[in-house]
Structure formats: C-alpha cells, structure tokens
C-alpha cells in the first residue's frame, strides 16, 4: 500500500467524525430509573426552590432541606434558559418546560450527587427521567455514537461530531441520573462538559 493510499484512508476515517460526550464521565450513564416516580406537589416538600417556580421570600430563603434547596436555587438561576414556546440561539422550545443550558444541568446533577441523600437522589431520579434535553454550543452533530438505555427510552451520551465545521447552538440528550453507590461503589464521579 502506498503512502498516498494510507493517507487517504486516514483522512477518510478522520473526516467521518470525532466522538464527543456532552457529559464526560461515563459512570454517570449507568442507569437506575424508577418504574413510577414518586408523586410530588408543585414544590418539593422541605424546599422552596425545587419545582416549577419557587416559594422563597428572597434569594437567601431556603427550606429545611437546605443543601438540596441550594442546588435547585442555583439551577433556577441558570445563565441561559429557553422558555416554553420561545426561540433562542435558533433553537425553538416546543416543550411545556424550559430547556436549560447543558452546563447548568451538569452542575445540578453534580450538586445532587455530591449531597447523596435520599432526598437529593429521589429528586435527581425524578427530574432527570422527565428532563431529557439541554442545549450547548458545539461542533455540528453527525450522529449518535453511544446510547444509554433507560426502561422505555434511550439517550445519546456520545456524539460523532464534525470538528471541521464551526460550532453551533444545538440540543443534546441529558444522561439519566445515577446515585452514588448504585453502580459506582460509593464513589462520586463528577460530570464535565467536553464540547471543544
């Protein structure tokens, strides 16, 4: 085989795409999804920020589950949100719920996993089963390279992207929530955005 042929094969494989994970740590993709999420009121009991809206008197007003409430409060103050029936960055949200920037979803998941309490893990499971999309600025997606299987649905966790094209705003799947100890032997794995 000539050097030219080897170079062409290398170039074709390179151009076919690069793999990229929106959340870097693959251990978070091991799954536990409750068959029936527990029913909750509008705001999670013991919190003032967890749920649609909030019941807090001000930014510093937190419920009895202070640590969990701080995670929710920070999540509610995400720097970039696509509200329902709104277009932002050329992305339209046809859902009934806001679509958050992926870095905010990542931070929220990490915060709940770090607390690792029954309340934080229950909230994480319910929220991340119901919320499946986030948006981020990244190289154009070619296709999904790896899925995480849920009970009914699956989500893309590694994307094949075209790094030769300019970055654009686009939607990504959010991995399912995994509690510490479910599949990671009581070791907290933090997630990280790896869009280059």
Residue 99 burial (C-beta neighbours within 10 Å; 0-12, 13-18, 19+): buried
Distance between CA 152 and CA 157 in Å, rounded? 16
Residue 96 burial (C-beta neighbours within 10 Å; 0-12, 13-18, 19+): exposed
Query: Could you give the residue numbers annotated as active site?
Result: 75
Contacts of 155 (CB under 8 A, 6+ apart): 132, 147, 148, 173, 174, 175, 176
Contacts of 101 (CB under 8 A, 6+ apart): 78, 79, 80, 81, 134, 135, 136
Copy the structure tokens of residue 182. Answer: 């479910």
Copy the structure tokens of residue 48. Answer: 């003032």
Tell me, what DSSP letter sits at residue 27? G
Work out the angle at residue 107's Cα, subtended by the Cα atoms of residues 145 and 190, and round it to the nearest 5 degrees. 65
């Amino acid at each position: 085989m000539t050097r030219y042929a080897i170079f062409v094969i290398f170039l074709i494989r390179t151009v076919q795409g690069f793999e990229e994970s929106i959340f870097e740590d693959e251990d978070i993709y091991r799954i536990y999804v409750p068959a029936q999420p527990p029913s909750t009121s509008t705001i999670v009991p013991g919190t003032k920020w967890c749920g649609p809206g909030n019941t807090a008197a001000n930014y510093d007003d937190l419920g009895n589950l202070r640590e969990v409430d701080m995670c929710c409060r920070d999540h509610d103050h995400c720097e970039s949100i696509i509200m329902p029936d709104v277009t932002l960055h050329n992305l339209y949200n046809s859902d009934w719920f806001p679509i958050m920037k992926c870095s905010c979803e990542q931070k929220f998941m990490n915060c709940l996993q770090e607390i690792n309490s029954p309340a934080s893990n229950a909230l994480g499971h319910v929220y991340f089963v119901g919320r499946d999309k986030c948006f981020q600025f990244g190289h154009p997606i070619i296709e999904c390279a790896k899925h995480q299987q849920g009970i009914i649905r699956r989500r893309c966790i590694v994307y094949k992207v075209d790094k030769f094209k300019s970055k654009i705003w686009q939607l990504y799947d959010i991995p399912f929530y995994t509690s510490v100890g479910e599949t990671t032997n009581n070791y907290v794995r933090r997630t990280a955005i790896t869009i280059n």
